[in-house]
Amino acid sequence: MNIAALLTSAGINIAVCVVLFSLYSVLRKQPGNVNVYFGQRLSSQYSRRLDQCLERFVPSPSWILKAWETSEDEILATGGLDAVVFVRILVFSIRIFSIAAVICTVLVLPVNYHGGERMHTHIPFESLDVFTIENVKEGSKWLWAHCLALYIITLAACTLLYFEYKSITNLKLVHIIGSPPNPSHFAILVRSIPWSSEESYCDTVKKFFSYYHPSTYLSHQMVYKSGTVQKLKDDAEQVCKVIRDASLENTCKPSFTQCWCSGGTTNSFKMISNEIGIDSVHGRMGYNDKHLDVRKKECPAAFVFFKNRYAALIAAQTPQSSNPMLWVTDLAPEPHDVYWSNICIPYRQLWIRKIATLVASIVFMIVFLIPVTFVQSLTQLDKLQKMLPFMTRMLKKKFVVQVVSGYLPSVILVLFLCAVPPVMMLFSAVEGSISRSGRKKSACCKVLYFTIWNVFFVNVFAGSIISQLLVFSSVTDLPTQLAKAVPSQATFFTTYVFSSGWASLAIEVMQIYPLLCNLFRRVILRIKDDSQGGSLSFPYHTEIPRILLFGFLGFTSAILAPLMLPFLLFYFFLAYLVYRNQIINVYIAKYDSGGQFWPIAHNTTVFSLIVAQVIALGVFGLKRSTVASGFTIPLLIGTLLFHQYCRQRFLPVFRSNSAKILVDMDRRDEHSGKMGDIYDHLRSAYNQSSLMQDASNQPQCFSHHEDKRNDMSSEDIEKGKEIIQKDDRPWYVNRTLSSKAVLGAK
């Protein structure tokens, strides 16, 4: 492939992008598409009517300006912490690849170009290989330039990563401190409640927690088997009726008090089943039968509420029983984040489910090699001609060659990759995650491993499945093998940036599938109602792996084939604009993982750096430059130490809240007298029936979101920031601050 073919490929993609972006800028102004492109705004009831001026049919770049101008606080308010983390990943990528692009264009590219002794032709017809490290002759003294560039890139990346991690950690803490009372802070999820023949799970939970946590236990709420909630409600109503009849006869008035230990009305009749005998009932079914029926539908899981946040954290973190398989506690997810159907999975199954999912994912990754191997063969035209002789004549046309070798492989790969996220999401659901954000995070990791393995390693070690597996059996040869393979695959990766990267952004902004659905509804079904708000939540599990994959390709190719960097940088700029636009306008943040994606991004970036260094080590070895190899090893060790440091400096914040912050928050709320309201709210927060309905068919109105993170006032944020910034001071300075905050709150 030469420069001309590369530019052809780039040209096709730019054209496609421009067309799609223009189309988007027109489509978004059409009132009919408002629920496709402004789901977020619809849900927050900002402004139903958009600007309906005459310029409706003229493409305009106004959305780009809007996306550019939005501040981080707005992103935080609209998309939650995860959206901010996502944008930060993009910002980090832009920064580091700007540095890399400058360094590599100035330092590495000329060395590569003039490294060999070959005669240079006219640049457009120059092979792309001339710009890679392959062109540098063996034993060249100029390899120090590559080593220096690697040093600069690594140091810059580590520095940026450190400050990003620090700032995101702070942001997370500020967010927690400043956020209004969240039911999930007061609740824990208890699973694997021991079965007793004498009592229902509900009673067992109540007795256990009121005995072992007497001062802090508030109430609890059982979880019922999925699908039975509605049925239970109906049954309960029926039984209530029966009881009322019965009580009239017996002249004893049943007390219909709200059962604290139940989720509302579902099993309130249990409390009075002892008062009234079976004989007195004239219903079709006795109470005890009914009672047993309810007990059968109870899961051995419950949400337990505590009087303050710190107590909930303690109960979640301390093993409750001496048998680790009983009374398993976790912090509860936010109400809208609960993945109800997984909560009832017996805890004993979870470990085997996790192993099974792991095995299934690995098998899926290996089976997927088949299409990838086929795709890879397309870039090697001579092989293809041998395999499919009838295409020989077609392949003689220059344009066809350029399309086939430059564009088609990537498109096929992208199409195949589309099937991956749903499969991984399914695996993560089977795995037994209790929260929707947890499931998404788990799927994100799986898709990430999958993508890096299938796009990078398999393409690099192209060939039969057997040979690919054998590559990994010889660990010590890995750097050399990578060093041989990566530079020659740089062309493919460059085209992959166009086809998968740029095009995917255009498709993302167009929202083709919802657009078609909407069209179908309006044109075929003739439904005019556009109040059906957007129901999509941000697909972090597909977008984060994609961005991290491009980062990975960028790091590994930076000093080997620096020609890719400008295209990559353009991709990240475009992604920055597009995703900001999508966060503001399209996706609804129904649940939030609290920035859990950042550690994934951090780890992947460090992994990318290490792979880049290992490849560089191999290349320097192949080029017989002992000095450069020697200098790379300390860099490798330094990067690993940096990773280890970050792990222990920042990661614990993402795993658990600290006593200090929670106690401060509890005190603040106690002083301001909010606790009563919070307790009232807790009773209804985890209402299984309404929340499950929410999850299945989208809610029309998001008014019960009011108490969520989204309406965190800027004052709260400032308050939190203040507390956090002072965190390294001795504690008593903070005390003064927080007591000031409390006074201020009063």
Rounded to whole angstroms, how far apart are CA atoms 308 and 328? 20
315 forms part of the interface with a second copy (CB under 8 A): yes
Q: For a second copy, which residue of 53, 54, 119, 475 counts as binding (CB under 8 A)?
A: 475
> CB neighbours of 730 closer than 8 A, spacing ≥ 6?
none
Q: For a second copy, which residue of 155, 325, 403, 429 counts as binding (CB under 8 A)?
A: 325
How is residue 310 written in tokens? 């710190």
Rounded to whole angstroms, how far apart are CA atoms 242 and 283? 6
Q: Which amino acid is at 137?
A: K
Q: What is the DSSP string of 584-618?
A: HHT-------SSTHHHHHHHHHHHHHHHHHHHHHH
Stretch that binds a second copy, among 321-329, 330-338, 518-526, 531-539 (CB under 8 A): 321-329
464 forms part of the interface with a second copy (CB under 8 A): no
Q: Which is nearer to a second copy, 327 or 702 (CB)?
A: 327
Report in angstroms how near the CB of residue 321 gets to a second copy at its nearest.
5
Report in angstroms how near the CB of residue 131 gets to a second copy at its nearest.
33
Rounded to whole angstroms, how far apart are CA atoms 524 and 217? 56
Residue 412, SS3 per DSSP:
helix
Q: For a second copy, which residue of 68, 125, 163, 472 counts as binding (CB under 8 A)?
A: 472
112 forms part of the interface with a second copy (CB under 8 A): no
513 forms part of the interface with a second copy (CB under 8 A): no
Please report where in the chains the tokens 């899926």 appear, as a residue. Answer: 364
Backbone angles phi, psi at 4, to 5 degrees: -60, -45
Which residues within the stretch 58-87 sit at the binding site for a second copy (CB under 8 A)?
none
274 forms part of the interface with a second copy (CB under 8 A): no
Rounded to whole angstroms, how far apart are CA atoms 153 and 131? 19
Q: Which is nearer to a second copy, 215 or 255 (CB)?
A: 215
Q: Are 462 and 431 in contact (CB under 8 A)?
A: no
Residue 190, SS3 per DSSP:
strand
Other CB atoms within a 10 A radius of the CB of residue 602 amount to 22
Stretch that binds a second copy, among 28-36, 116-124, 472-480, 490-498 (CB under 8 A): 472-480
Report in angstroms how near the CB of residue 186 gets to a second copy at its nearest.
16
Task: State CA 528 to chain mean position distance.
Answer: 34
- Going residue by residue from 648 to 667, which x/- string records binding to a second copy, judged by CB under 8 A? xxxxxx--xxxxxx-x----
> CB neighbours of 11 closer than 8 A, spacing ≥ 6?
none
706 forms part of the interface with a second copy (CB under 8 A): no
Q: For a second copy, which residue of 81, 109, 173, 425 counts as binding (CB under 8 A)?
A: 173
163 forms part of the interface with a second copy (CB under 8 A): no
Task: Walk across the sheet containing 328-331 and list its strands.
Answer: 217-224, 298-306, 187-191, 328-331
Q: For a second copy, which residue of 34, 568, 682, 724 counts as binding (CB under 8 A)?
A: 724
Report in angstroms how near the CB of residue 149 gets to a second copy at its nearest.
28
Q: Using only C-alpha atoms, what is the Rg of the chain?
A: 30
Q: Which is nearer to a second copy, 700 or 736 (CB)?
A: 736
Specify burial of residue 412 (Cβ count, 10 A radius: 0-12, 13-18, 19+).
Answer: middle
Stretch that binds a second copy, among 64-72, 105-113, 206-214, 366-374 (CB under 8 A): 206-214
Q: Which is nearer to a second copy, 359 or 523 (CB)?
A: 359
Report in angstroms how near the CB of residue 220 gets to a second copy at its nearest.
14
Q: For a second copy, which residue of 44, 60, 238, 321 counts as binding (CB under 8 A)?
A: 321
125 forms part of the interface with a second copy (CB under 8 A): no
Rounded to whole angstroms, how far apart are CA atoms 542 and 587? 14
466 forms part of the interface with a second copy (CB under 8 A): no
Q: Which is nearer to a second copy, 394 or 469 (CB)?
A: 469
Q: Which is nearer to a second copy, 286 or 346 (CB)?
A: 346
DSSP class of residue 135 equals G
Rounded to whole angstroms, how far apart are CA atoms 729 and 739? 16
207 forms part of the interface with a second copy (CB under 8 A): yes
Rounded to whole angstroms, how far apart are CA atoms 224 and 229? 6
Q: Are 711 and 641 in contact (CB under 8 A)?
A: no
Specify burial of residue 455 (Cβ count, 10 A radius: 0-12, 13-18, 19+).
Answer: buried
Could you tell me which of 595, 580, 610 has the C-alpha nearest to residue 166? Answer: 595
Q: For a second copy, which residue of 148, 326, 536, 610 counts as binding (CB under 8 A)?
A: 326
Stretch that binds a second copy, among 72-80, 94-102, 470-478, 487-495 (CB under 8 A): 470-478
Stretch that binds a second copy, among 238-246, 497-505, 550-558, 638-646 (CB under 8 A): 638-646
Residue 302, SS3 per DSSP:
strand
Q: For a second copy, which residue of 248, 278, 355, 512 counts as binding (CB under 8 A)?
A: 355
Q: For a second copy, which residue of 251, 257, 274, 318 counts as binding (CB under 8 A)?
A: 318
Report in angstroms how near the CB of residue 674 gets to a second copy at its nearest.
20
Q: Are 239 and 290 in contact (CB under 8 A)?
A: yes
Residues engaged in binding a second copy (CB under 8 A)? 173, 194-196, 198-199, 204, 207-208, 211-212, 313-315, 317-327, 351-352, 355, 469-470, 472-477, 641, 644-645, 648-653, 656-661, 663, 724, 727-732, 735
